[in-house]
Amino acid sequence: MKRVDNFGAGPGALPTAVLEKARDELLSYQNKGISVLEMSHRSEMFDEIHLSAKNRLRRLMNIPEEYEILFLQGGASLQFSMIPMNFLQKGQTAAYVLTGSWSEKALAEAKKLGETRIAASSKEDGYRSIPAMNAIYSESNDAYLHITTNNTIYGTQWHVLPSHLDSPLVADVSSDILSRPLDVQSFSLLYAGAQKNLGPSGLTVVIVKKSWAEQASKTVPTMLSYQTHLQHDSRYNTPPTFAVYLLNLVLEWTEAQGGVPAMMEKSLRKSGYLYRVIDEFPDVYEGHACQEARSRMNVTFRLVNPERTKQFLTVANDYSFIGLSGHRSVGGIRASLYNAVSEESAARLAEFMRDFAQSEK
């Protein structure tokens, strides 16, 4: 069966091997005569899936025992609200580094709940860069400092992460989790919508330092409290069971591929193919991100002649390259190169871009 080259920003490509396994097991999981879709979330069979997914993620990311892994719902967007609800107390300030639309949205939610400050921002340059590390500092009454490690819409990424701060560090890692090593211990909380590098939509992964979660507000509604989900091992209510099952398969695939170091090498090569063409044809393509902040997950660029954008997308679609339209807020082109996008897909797109550029001359 022919599958397209999927450069969608999320939900994005999933490994074909994972989809095949899910298909093969759909009616009868491990020959047990029952689908994962039909199984109780409190059954032994599902217990195994749930635990396996947690253990694999712990291994892949070297998550220490002092941290708990939660499988929640509501997307990364609900984390924008849950974080301040739980951790922004009276008299404290929540600090946000603005590097794009998602960090702006995270800040907007915190503003509804308490005092906030902008610790640094790259808004003035159209979110082409990541603020300089020495511009970011903690203040004594910061409840936490929030960053977005990869900016899915603008195509920028933090290549050096803050490690000099006194405040608890919180990060939205939705669009680059498992694509490079992260020192989990330098964060108090990490969160990611699953629909890019982890699995399908409908599942949000949260990695939280248990001692920090204990300090959370006790007046938060039950379902919005991290303590509830910690105490019930993410099964206070019915979790998105099939999404957790697919996550487990994606993590199994990631381990078999060589884990995070292999994913990083692969993403460097894939993004390198595209950035090379962008740099080779500056009269045809214009990258959005400045060189030092270029994302290895989302490559964003425009055609210097904007009238050719539509033609680029139409011809690309004829070649079965899909998901290449830039986000509606910035336009242009965006190629998302999540872990499941093969090197061959990226190489084919690079070749197409080169041919397209040459056809313009």
Please give the full DSSP string across 178-198, using - where no structure is assigned.
Answer: TSS---GGG-SEEEEESTTTT
Q: How far is CA 285 from CA 68, 320, 326, in A?
A: 44, 21, 14
Q: Which residue minimizes CB distance to ligand PMP? A: 75
Contact between 337 and 297 (Cβ < 8 Å)? yes
Residue 8 Cβ, how far from ligand PMP at the closest point, in Å? Answer: 10
Nearest to 83 by CA among 191, 177, 180, 156: 191
Nearest to 22 by CA among 39, 11, 35: 35
Residue 274 Cβ, how far from ligand PMP at the closest point, in Å? Answer: 19
158 is catalytic: no
Binding mask 75-114 for ligand PMP (x = CB under 6 A): xxx------------------------x------------
102 is catalytic: yes
* C-alpha 42: how far from chain center: 28
Q: Measured from the CB atom, is 13 or 284 closer to ligand PMP? A: 13
Contact between 188 and 212 (Cβ < 8 Å)? yes
Among 156, 175, 225, 300, binds ligand PMP (CB under 6 A): 175
Q: Measured from the CB atom, is 202 or 281 closer to ligand PMP? A: 202
Binding mask 114-153 for ligand PMP (x = CB under 6 A): ----------------------------------x---x-
Does residue 200 bind ligand PMP (CB under 6 A)?
no
Check the annotation: does 24 bind a ligand. Answer: no
Does residue 177 bind ligand PMP (CB under 6 A)?
no
Binding-site size, ligand PMP (CB under 6 A): 11
Check the annotation: does 195 bind a ligand. Answer: yes
172 is catalytic: yes
Residue 86 Cβ, how far from ligand PMP at the closest point, in Å? Answer: 17
Q: Measured from the CB atom, is 111 or 210 closer to ligand PMP? A: 111
Residue tagged active-site, from 54, 142, 158, 196:
196
Residue 352 Cβ, how far from ligand PMP at the closest point, in Å? Answer: 25
Longest dimension (CA), the chain: 65
Binding mask 40-79 for ligand PMP (x = CB under 6 A): -----------------------------------xxx--
Residue 277 Cβ, how far from ligand PMP at the closest point, in Å? Answer: 24
Does residue 172 bind ligand PMP (CB under 6 A)?
yes
CA distance 319 to 103: 34
CA distance 332 to 170: 30
Contact between 69 and 251 (Cβ < 8 Å)? no
CA distance 106 to 102: 6
CA distance 273 to 341: 13
Please give the full DSSP string across 29-74, using - where no structure is assigned.
Answer: GGGSSS-GGGS-TTSHHHHHHHHHHHHHHHHHHT--TTEEEEEESS
Contact between 138 and 145 (Cβ < 8 Å)? yes
Residue 204 Cβ, how far from ligand PMP at the closest point, in Å? Answer: 6
Q: Measured from the CB atom, is 131 or 356 closer to ligand PMP? A: 131
Q: How far is CA 242 from CA 41, 102, 330, in A?
A: 10, 27, 34
Q: Which residues are annotated as a binding site for L-glutamate?
A: 42
Q: Which residues are annotated as a binding site for pyridoxal 5'-phosphate?
A: 76-77, 102, 152, 172, 195, 237-238
Which parts of this chain interact with ligand PMP (CB under 6 A)? 10, 75-77, 102, 148, 152, 172, 174-175, 193
- What residues act catalytically? 102, 172, 196
